Structure 1
Amino acid sequence: MNSKQLDRIHSGEGFIAALDQSGGSTPKALLQYGVKEDRYANEEEMYALVHEMRTRIIKSPAFDSKYILGAILFENTMDRLIDGQFTADYLWEKKGIVPFLKVDKGLADLEDGVQLMKAMPDLNSLLKRANERHIFGTKMRSVIKEANPSGIKKVVEQQFAIGSQIVQMGLVPIIEPEVDIHSSDKITSEKLLKDEIFSQLAKLDADVKIMLKLSIPTEHNFYSDLMKDPHVIRVVALSGGYSQAEANEKLAHNHGLIASFSRALSQGLTAGQTDEQFNAMLSQSIQDIYQASIQ
């Protein structure tokens, strides 16, 4: 583990950019960017276009380590180049931004009010490649739709079991049990979730370090006690479907919680914008998210 990167993520001011839409969500991300499905004939062309979009974001002068601590990539982006360097090396060496990798293979069907992660039979070989590509940490997402105690327990147990596998490979896992923002019993789900997280943290060896990526809680500063746990390097928040303005407003009420936004970060960016327009829009978004993160 790179100690400079660890220090930056643990104590730096800023937020984490999530550039990790993959598979099923890629066409949606491209459409939001103004690239219709008739612009590509197959998956390879689609991923080439999405890499162009991400390269444009990463290379923008607005994408600055003054505001951004880390960036989450997905596998296809990790294996591609920016100006002749693998994306993670470009991020760290040229930008001073810590690279993470999304490792989950999507969500299983809804059961017990939750969606667990699909099986990841090739995880170890992916983690080995992540190490070769100089990735610092990983991210994996499950979803909680209802305040079902046994479902929430399963989600957290699965996250920490796979998190342990990731730690053993020398990477820092971002554990992401998202609570659906539209859930009718979101507050109860958050209470159950926090209890389960504490129960899993208590079982970790003293030197194990993880991160948490959680929905912005309904009750302000609800996750403050998790931030104090010695195993937790940082607690970051997903935008979860809120608009950027809503997500920023809610985030600002939670001291110490920083953003790890995806859709809310790229909101308003389109392929048709001039570089000047694109950079101005991205710069405004980054500064607004940064301000909400440092409150």
Structure 2
Amino acid sequence: MWRIALASALISLSVQASHLDNVCKMMSAPSFADGFLTRFNVLENLEGQLIFENHVRLKGVIRDGDKLWVLASNSLIQMNKDGSGIEGFEMDKNISMTKAQDLILVVRGGGAISAFNTKTKEIAWTSYLNEVDGGEAVSVTFDGTNALVVMTGTREGGFNGVATMNLEGKVIKTAPYDNVRAGVIDPEAIAHWHNGNLILNNGGWIHVITPKQISSGKKFRPRWVALQLGSGMSTHYMMLKGDFYFEGNTLVGCGLYNEHQDGDIVRAGALFKVSLP
């Protein structure tokens, strides 16, 4: 019996890898969550089985027990894992989301963050993070206690960095990027909390930010993790595109790299895997 189960698991992993390869070759920017992904306007599992198709773009998915929360550009949708039992809640200009206890924190256009209560199924509060001068929220994750909001500057000298916000929507501390040595936050940055660190796709580059850097309130420079390809004159780095997830301490997502075709260099997509330090 165990041999049958092992063979079945290996087949499933092979199918998942094959499907992810195809997704990444299309150079889409998928989002991931616990065995599911969204791309364009569809939700599917990692084996490629279609779960749900929408008329507008899907921005993300969260697994919550035996339920899924799916973020569309104009709504938040709850459904069963097989795509049945669909219930929608109007919410527009949505960008990304994360789950924090009973709340789903949704980053929305204009830098707003709305907290949707999964028990009452109502928006509990909305914050524009006005306490942060010249900064706009682009992604949010949860460290187990507070929300960590990644922000980009809206003007020269505006805030780029991480704002720590409690689950009542109040900013309790900020930590700015060292712009001179680390650059700025990309407007499409994506953040996740993993193994006690904030992991960021910042314009294709993987940045690792420690709790000490976040809590210090001082300018900081994140650790850069890169995936090098090629050799000699063709050496370059694969750029992470879109969301990512973790297999143990390995970051998995889709990447872009340079490929030689008939003497020309073209951009191509492929599965992106890199071990975190």
TM-score (norm 1): 0.29
- Bigger fraction of residues in helix: 1
* Largest Rg, 1 or 2: 2
Larger strand percent:
2
TM-score (norm 2): 0.30
Q: Which has the higher contact order (CA 8 A, sep 6+)?
A: 1
